[in-house]
Amino acid sequence: DTAVSQTPKYLVTQMGNDKSIKCEQNLGHDTMYWYKQDSKKFLKIMFSYNNKELIINETVPNRFSPKSPDKAHLNLHINSLELGDSAVYFCASSQEGQLRHEQFFGPGTRLTVL
């Protein structure tokens, strides 16, 4: 059974398009995250939700909009895609905030913007 799943795994699209990535966790965790990993492997947090409420919003362009319909799902919608958005996006979840509990990562979505 997959603990944290993401769809799609790969996403190739043209500049200017709008796309969404979906994430679901079946671990019963109450906190979910979106990370962006660039080509140098740097992992940067973008957003975090706790029980459907936004608790972390890093300096991310407002073209990125997360949505959490329930605590098991955290989706990421990106408007007007740019070349620099090309990266691997990871969803993750944890039981509480990050201070004491491990994070479980999804398999990632490799986004390529042409």
Partner 1 sequence: GQQVMQIPQYQHVQEGEDFTTYCNSSTTLSNIQWYKQRPGGHPVFLIQLVKSGEVKKQKRLTFQFGEAKKNSSLHITATQTTDVGTYFCAGPRGNNRLAFGKGNQVVVIP
Interface with partner 1 by CB under 8 A: which residues?
A: 40-45, 48, 55-56, 90, 92, 97-100, 102-108
The distance of closest approach from Cβ of residue 97 to partner 1 in the complex, given in angstroms and rounded to an integer, is: 4
The distance of closest approach from Cβ of residue 15 to partner 1 in the complex, given in angstroms and rounded to an integer, is: 25
Instruction: For partner 1, give the closer residue by CB, 44 or 63.
Output: 44
| SS3 letters across the chain | CCCEEEECCEEEECCCCCEEEEEEECCCCCEEEEEEECCCCCEEEEEEEECCEEEEECCCCCCEEEEEEECCEEEEEECCCCHHHCEEEEEEEECCCCCCCCCEECCCEEEEEC
Instruction: For partner 1, give the closer residue by CB, 15 or 43.
Output: 43
